[in-house]
Structure 1
Amino acid sequence: MTTVKHVATTPFDGQKPGTSGLRKKVRVFQQPHYLENFVQAIFDSIGDVAGKTLVVGGDGRFHNRSAIQTILKMAAAAGFAKVMVGKGGILSTPAASCVIRKYKTFGGIILSASHNPGGPDEDFGIKYNIPAGGPAPEGVTEAIYARTTEINEYRILDVADVDIESVGDRSLGGMAVTVFDPVADYAELMGSLFDFDAIRALFAGGFRMRFDAMHAVTGPYASVILEDILGAPKGTVMNGIPLEDFGHGHPDPNLVHAHDLVEEMFGPDAPDFGAASDGDGDRNMILGRDFYVTPSDSLAVLAANATCAPGYAKGLAGIARSMPTSAAADRVAAALGIKSYETPTGWKFFGTLLDAGLATLCGEESFGTGSDHVREKDGLWAVLLWLNVLAARKQPVADIVREHWAKYGRNVYSRHDYEGIDTAAANGLMDHLRGLSLKGQTLGAYTVAFNDDFAYTDPVDGSVSTKQGIRIVFEDGSRIVFRLSGTGTEGATLRVYIEQYEPDPAKHGADPQDALAELIKIARDVAEIEARTGRSEPTVIT
């Protein structure tokens, strides 16, 4: 007879989910009762789970398999009828959204700390995705957090671990456990959106590509789709085996951390196209030969060319971007005669727009792009859409982007990250910025039109989100934005975004750091970054 254990517990401080769930160091999650408290708080907050199906999987980082066993036993104790688990515990974030939506489950639990490092001394994370397939909205995460502050018991089955290393059906205390191929459903969805025959022909014609999976979750997905299905040569996917510590790497697809790919794409005999994805597969970086495409430009170019892909041949309903993302996509929306939406950072804010049919493509400057096919950003999807555009237009990446700038103008853009700074100092810096009244003041060659702390009212459900980032907007449309990131586990990360619109094609080739030099100085001076944080230079510039 299977026994449900009722385990007495007490609350832990700080189990408040951020923009993408709860992220802490592995050692924190390994504390007795810590993970169990949070999982029980999820189950207590999402309604009646009896007879329902749950999806579970993660990015394969250290502690992934162990956490899944705990979640399975607690799901059985909670009354779920079935849990679907990716083989080996592997399931990319966009693939989880795909599976949740396809099988109409009662949502899913995704184990990931996204682009953060993995390993025994590094990061771990957990989040609940709702039945629509997207991250839980603030109302749900607030309820989960409230429950963590008062929890006094969790329930778990007293049974042995279940085999999740091979595909098949099992039973756990009367609950069905289905271990499934994590790639199959996602690959099928991609085949319905893109012209796979045109992409096959592209590779057959000698087109060369490199995809850096960064020893993270997209390795199996990219290997199957790019190499097995689309015919890219074996070896196109680099670092394709998911490892618990991501090969001692930092699985963040940017110019610093994807250095091997960048070196190859900017070296002699570079391939035609380069791309990378992150720890859980929801971010992307796009490179041409000797050419880097910013995420803001990537969203705009994909929006302008989306009809190249069969899944978007009828056009777009609208385009949504996070507030710090450049306004390049807005210019495309205006030209197409469709609406553009500016939301806070966090993919959950796109969910209501997508569900209401108001937007088709969405993007964030933090290397996230996606569409209404799932309710998460999707790294490999963005790569496949780029391949579809390249197959249709038969031009190099750099030429496509430069033609886009010539037509729409260039939103010259950069992001400066100051990582791991003292939290109190970071909060003091933001408070300082909130206290400034700059309207009408001249800063260098720029006159301030307004400054504010961005607030958002959702046009669908009317929910209001405040304190979403400090904006300084100048009369010529240039912007400086300051935000504290919610994705780290230690200290604070200050992100500074600098943007200037340049309509003159003769100036489109300028290096962004040179073109934005005066605005960068203004940003550092106005925020008193060095004086308040002790940092004279950013940690990462993208």
Structure 2
Amino acid sequence: MTNRAGTQALPSDLIDIDALVKAYYDLTPDMSVPEQRVVFGTSGHRGSSLNAAFNEQHILATTQAIVEYRALQGITGPLFIGADTHGLSRPAQETALEVLAANGVRTLKDSRDGFTPTPAVSHAILAYNNGSHADEADGIVVTPSHNPPQDGGFKYNPPHGGPADGSATNWIAARANELIEAGLVDVKRTNPEGLIEEYDFLEHYVADLENVIDMKAIAESGVRIGADPLGGASVAYWAAIKDRYNLNLTVVNPEVDPAWSFMTLDWDEKIRMDPSSPNAMASLISKRNDFDVLTGNDADADRHGIVTPDAGLMNPNHFLAVAIEYLFANRPGWRQDARIGKTLVSSSMINFVADGMGRVLWEVPVGFKWFVPGLVDGSVGFGGEESAGASFLRKDGTVWTTDKDGIILALLAAEIIAVTGKTPSVLYKELTVRFGDPAYARVDAAADREAKARLGKLSGDDITATELAGDPIIAKLSHAPGNGEAIGGVKVETEFAWFAARPSGTEDVYKIYAESFKGPEHLKLVQAEAKKIVDAALKA
């Protein structure tokens, strides 16, 4: 049977949006089933209403828990709420507004009644908290990010504007489950009409872009930009950016369809709005010769994909490395000691770039939340993840967003072309001439729940191997070198290669990230030996 990855979705691939929304209201979660409880991952609670994992009870309870959490924390300012284009996002936002209104929380929703990217919510929170207000704002973003159309998502951003940390999300999830188990008797709800205020997320965000991106250089260069929102929340933003800054920009697909019928299928033949996936971005890649740069965003615009005529879709690690070198050379307003933030499963090319510029590299566990304090105080100029999520400081070295911002990363690609005259992919080739050409990949290995739990608690000392793919092992890490936090797995390094193994939060697998500066064949050897090393440690 032919794999249909990268081909146009067929009617049989599409979900029934009416049935999805009906299930949101009709199905009741069984709290004895772990998959039907409220569980916050790194980006909130996610699930589908069709299997009772994301339903009205979940959102009623989670919103009430957030109300109680913010009261415990002394947060008395407004709460900004935004939602993306997933079919479950608008119903979940409406449910949340009922609870927020009943609890007397001053709540601000989009004045255009449109869709709101995650970075626009982060931007709004930070703008309020940077003013002369005596209280502090926080926010909720209703989004499962790049997940398939049947999923819903609900995440909380505290006053720092970024993703909530584990202490907050664990409390919120536990309280939400208590409320559901008690029959929601302590959940307040009311008709929110007349009780909700409005905020123009788009206007505030778009008008401020010139303070983080050299929009004048982009406009004057005439660089031809094709921007694809992939049916997500950035659709109106790209049109507004084009008009405000007089850019040579085309919104290549302005269509919004909660079934995402226009998408090409991802690697597993599912519809997934992942701008870092060549399969999901296939239709955009086919237009690569029509523009100087093409960009894609996921449903809440916190991720980016960069397509160039000479390379097609860039590997996210490659663009991060280029973006970092460009920014630190072209942002004189940043602190001279501003660090480069990367997750420890991102490419070592970033390490070489940092060394080459004499900048401090700050390597942290997976999760954008680790970059938040440094972005707030300007001590981290750029924070990026291998999964195509990043943000960086304003030109003057102050905070822009503390959540991932796929819009400014896409605009940065255009700025790079405008200022250097070269595409980011050409600049990456120049990096490989200087530092070598690494091969990087992520694969999955089977692991049950017990094995994943053991992996999450492994220490570097549990790794008994002394060599990896023919080279001596020089580091065995279970804590990130940047901040000393547990990585929830292990990372093993040699002079020429490394691998990291972490348990999946949603599937019965563990993820093996690996990279080799000796080429693709050596990478395969690293991957094979990594699985043996990890499996041996799990059995010990």
Structures share fold, TM-score greater than 0.5: yes
Measure the CA separation in 1 of the matches of 2:336 and 2:327.
7
Amino acid at match of 2:245: I
Measure the CA separation in 2 of the matches of 1:199 and 1:352.
30
Alignment match, 2:24: none
Preserved CA contact (<8 Å) 1:192 1:311: no
CA distance 1:295–1:227, shift in 2 (3 Å): farther
- How many Å apart are 1:437 and its aligned residue? 4.5
CA distance 1:33–1:479, shift in 2 (3 Å): same
Alignment match, 2:489: 469
Alignment match, 1:278: 298
Alignment match, 1:219: 235
Secondary structure of the 1:46 match is: helix
Measure the CA separation in 1 of the matches of 2:453 and 2:107.
48
Instruction: Work out which of the residue numbers 150, 155, 160 in structure 2 matches 1:132.
Output: 160
Write out per-residue CA displacement over residues 186-237 of structure 1, whole angstroms, 9 at most, x where no aligned residue.
112212222222111222xxx433322211112222222146634225xx22
Amino acid at match of 1:145: A
- Matching of residues 94-493 of structure 1 within 5 Å: 94-104=119-129, 105-118=136-149, 122-151=150-179, 152=182, 153-159=185-191, 162=193, 171-172=194-195, 176-178=196-198, 180-203=199-222, 207-226=223-242, 229-233=245-249, 236-247=250-261, 249-253=271-275, 254-265=277-288, 269=289, 271-291=291-311, 292-306=313-327, 317-372=338-393, 373-417=400-444, 423-424=448-449, 427=452, 430=455, 437-439=462-464, 441-454=466-479, 458=483, 465-474=485-494, 476-486=495-505, 488=506, 491-492=507-508
- How many Å apart are 1:523 and its aligned residue? 3.2
Alignment match, 1:6: none
Secondary structure of the 1:65 match is: helix
Measure the CA separation in 2 of the matches of 1:145 and 1:30.
13
TM-score with structure 2 setting the length = 0.80
Measure the CA separation in 1 of the matches of 2:451 and 2:228.
33
- How many Å apart are 1:500 and its aligned residue? 2.1
Write out per-residue CA displacement over residues 311-356 of structure 1, whole angstroms, 9 at most, x where no aligned residue.
8577671110111111222222223333211111111111122223
- How many Å apart are 1:404 and its aligned residue? 2.3
Secondary structure of the 1:114 match is: coil
TM-score with structure 1 setting the length = 0.79
Query: Gaps (5+ residues) in structure 1?
Result: 1-8, 163-170, 459-463, 503-511, 533-542
Alignment match, 2:529: 522
Secondary structure of the 2:156 match is: strand
CA distance 1:401–1:147, shift in 2 (3 Å): same
CA distance 1:11–1:424, shift in 2 (3 Å): closer
- How many Å apart are 1:145 and its aligned residue? 2.6
Preserved CA contact (<8 Å) 1:213 1:278: yes
Preserved CA contact (<8 Å) 1:414 1:498: yes
Measure the CA separation in 1 of the matches of 2:47 and 2:157.
19
- How many Å apart are 1:494 and its aligned residue? 3.5
Measure the CA separation in 1 of the matches of 2:317 and 2:75.
43
- How many Å apart are 1:256 and its aligned residue? 2.0
Amino acid at match of 1:115: H
Measure the CA separation in 2 of the matches of 1:387 and 1:451.
39
- How many Å apart are 1:22 and its aligned residue? 0.9
Preserved CA contact (<8 Å) 2:70 2:76: no
- How many Å apart are 1:479 and its aligned residue? 0.4
Measure the CA separation in 2 of the matches of 1:442 and 1:307.
36
Number of residue pairs matched by the alignment: 479
Query: Gaps (5+ residues) in structure 2?
Result: 1-28, 130-135, 264-270, 394-399
Amino acid at match of 1:276: G
CA distance 1:157–1:147, shift in 2 (3 Å): closer
Amino acid at match of 1:224: A
Secondary structure of the 1:133 match is: coil
- Structure 1, 56-65 or 43-52: larger mean CA deviation: 43-52
CA distance 1:110–1:431, shift in 2 (3 Å): closer
CA distance 1:155–1:214, shift in 2 (3 Å): same
Alignment match, 2:102: 77
- How many Å apart are 1:56 and its aligned residue? 0.5
Matched, 1:44 2:68: yes
CA distance 1:433–1:261, shift in 2 (3 Å): farther
Preserved CA contact (<8 Å) 1:97 1:374: yes
CA distance 1:316–1:402, shift in 2 (3 Å): farther
- How many Å apart are 1:388 and its aligned residue? 1.0
Measure the CA separation in 1 of the matches of 2:330 and 2:357.
17
Preserved CA contact (<8 Å) 1:87 1:181: yes
Amino acid at match of 1:46: R
Q: Which has the higher strand share?
A: 1
Amino acid at match of 1:35: I
Instruction: Work out which of the residue numbers 85, 88, 92 in structure 2 matches 1:60.
Output: 85
- How many Å apart are 1:432 and its aligned residue? 11
Secondary structure of the 1:415 match is: strand
Secondary structure of the 1:39 match is: helix
Measure the CA separation in 1 of the matches of 2:66 and 2:118.
18
Preserved CA contact (<8 Å) 2:475 2:493: yes
Preserved CA contact (<8 Å) 1:84 1:177: yes
Measure the CA separation in 2 of the matches of 1:311 and 1:53.
35
Tell me the C-alpha RMSD between the 2 structures: 3.2
